[in-house]
Structure 1
Amino acid sequence: MKELRLTVDGPVARVVLDRPEVRNAQTPAMWQALADFGTTLPSDVRVVVVSGEGPSFSAGLDRRLMMGEGVDGQEALLTLGAKPTAEVHELIAGFQAGFSWLRRPEIISIAAVQGHAIGAGFQLALACDLRVVTPDVRFSMRETALGLVPDLGGTQPLVQLVGYSRALELCATTRWVEADEAKELGLANIVVPPEELAGTVKDLTEALLAPLPGAIRETKALLLGAADRSYQDQLKAEREAQERRLKELLATSDSGH
């Protein structure tokens, strides 16, 4: 679709939001396209880079869809409130699928963020494993100001990154978080000048592709599940993951002879 550029180049896939005239505001159709892209991603893709065309990463949901106007035949978000519960849940689950695949253990996702990352834009950045940002970045979780909740998968990674108390404060006040604070809180991994954003993401991508994919997949899965396991369960998960790695490495070694 014209609002998104979705490409695959060997082990690297790229998602580019391409609506700079509205600061890359998002629509449910874009979320569906993202979900479809995640579903059809080739198995040899190891890194996914998400970025926005123009000076902003994403200003969130297209406000016309919130204010009751249609966009390209898509109905206003508030009309969901009139639908049966099961249908509402199914629709929102479909929206969430456009974001959640970026957390899959077999890929590492990088958000290259400049300018505004608001609401759905913030949640898209949070869906990614790593965030490289420019000094002009401005994060804000705006949903509560509209009477809504963040429902695109952003609440869990936000709490994991900044803790419950800070996450609640950011969501309840909808205030701006700029680059220095984002780095301090752990929302941003790296802050670089705008002219260095692409090069830094390229260098990071190359570094992530260096280790064996199986090792990265297992390590990401261990880290993603660590907060939900007891210490003993985490030790058990590490043992099981290491056994799988050792057996795969042995099999690879034997096949090479």
Structure 2
Amino acid sequence: MKYENIYIEEEKQWATITINRPTKLNALNKRTIEELHVAFKELDEDPEIKVIIITGTGEKAFVAGADISEFAHFSVKEGRQLSAMGQKNLFNLIENLTTPVIAAINGFALGGGLELALACHFRVASSNARMGLPEVSLGVIPGYGGTQRLPQLIGKGRAMELIMTASMIDADKAFAYGLVNHVVSPEELLPLCEKLASRISNNSTVAIKHAIKAVNAGFKYDADGYAVEIDAFGHCFGTDDFKEGTTAFLEKRKADFPGS
């Protein structure tokens, strides 16, 4: 697929996806969601890529929301389809990706932009970041998982307040709420994400895949997270990564995981 609204940079064992619609503050439109779907699928299937970082062009916006002009005149049926397809093709895809995804939040992350960050496995914000779900000010609710993932991260009461007031919070408050893991200067944002990516890349990709699955299971109404953990834990014992990791530990050397 020829990308028009994103570009990908690969370095060492990670890749950075940059949403590149600066005149629209990197707003998500149908084309951008399609491109992101393809990019995440392809990078997840690349054995050389162990971490994915996603960010937006410039310092003004990570993603300033969805492109309202595309759906302002949708019917009820079209609105349901918009939400369902977006969740399936991008937001749920990212959450359940076997490759860890870090959101590098530079500037505004609003509406669908915050929902995109919420779907990532964790988030790092620049000090100028502003986050919120302003959908009710438009007569609609968050439709890309925001009503589910935000309460899981920051608690029901805080999530209800943010959603119902359509307010924005700054990076420091987002850190205090547990919405982001780190807050750094804009200049330090990508270097820190790359440092974290490097640390993750040193570990077993097979174990990380199972860890993602087990953690996510604990937040699903139809899954027993403990049972998933037990099964995943046992499965790890049959992998080459487990043999290499335990052998390296006993031999007092750094593990060289084969990824199988």
Q: TM-score range by the shorter chain?
A: 0.7 to 0.9
What fraction of aligned residue pairs are identical, expressed as a percent? 29
Residues 115 and 235 from structure 1, CA distance in 2 versus in 1: closer, same or farther, beyond 3 angstroms?
A: closer
**In the alignment, does 2:164 pair up with 1:172?**
yes
Residues 189 and 94 from structure 1, CA distance in 2 versus in 1: closer, same or farther, beyond 3 angstroms?
A: same
Deviation at 1:204, TM superposition (A): 0.4
Deviation at 1:121, TM superposition (A): 1.1
Asked if the contact 2:215–2:225 (Cα under 8 Å) also holds between the matched residues in 1, the reply is no
What SS class does the counterpart of residue 121 from structure 1 fall into?
helix
Other-structure match for 1:32: 34
The alignment's TM-score, normalised by the length of structure 2, stands at 0.83
**In the alignment, does 2:211 pair up with 1:209?**
no
Asked if the contact 1:32–1:94 (Cα under 8 Å) also holds between the matched residues in 2, the reply is no
Cα deviation per residue 1:123-169 (whole Å; 9 max; x = unaligned)? Answer: 11111111111111100101111011111122222111011111111
Q: Which amino acid aligns with 1:49?
A: I
Q: Distance in 1 between matches of 2:86 and 2:222?
A: 32
Other-structure match for 2:128: 136
Other-structure match for 2:145: 153
**In the alignment, does 2:240 pair up with 1:236?**
no
Counterpart of 2:118 (choices 105, 123, 126) is 126
Q: Distance in 1 between matches of 2:90 and 2:230?
A: 32
Q: Distance in 1 between matches of 2:37 and 2:204?
A: 26
The alignment's TM-score, normalised by the length of structure 1, stands at 0.84
What SS class does the counterpart of residue 27 from structure 2 fall into?
coil
Q: Distance in 1 between matches of 2:100 and 2:242?
A: 25
Q: Which amino acid aligns with 1:245?
A: C
Other-structure match for 2:237: 246
Residues 105 and 40 from structure 1, CA distance in 2 versus in 1: closer, same or farther, beyond 3 angstroms?
A: closer
Other-structure match for 1:112: 104
Other-structure match for 1:77: 71
Q: Which amino acid aligns with 2:233?
A: Q
Cα deviation per residue 1:95-129 (whole Å; 9 max; x = unaligned)? Answer: 22122221125111111112111111111111111
Cα deviation per residue 1:48-106 (whole Å; 9 max; x = unaligned)? Answer: 1110111221211234x1xxxxxxxxxx3033216xx3x65444322221222211251
**In the alignment, does 2:58 pair up with 1:54?**
yes
Deviation at 1:190, TM superposition (A): 0.4
Deviation at 1:203, TM superposition (A): 0.3
Contiguous gaps of at least 5 residues in structure 2: 245-257
What SS class does the counterpart of residue 123 from structure 2 fall into?
strand
Q: Which amino acid aligns with 1:21?
A: T
Q: Distance in 2 between matches of 1:170 and 1:140?
A: 7
Deviation at 1:10, TM superposition (A): 6.3
Residues 236 and 142 from structure 1, CA distance in 2 versus in 1: closer, same or farther, beyond 3 angstroms?
A: same
Contiguous gaps of at least 5 residues in structure 1: 66-75
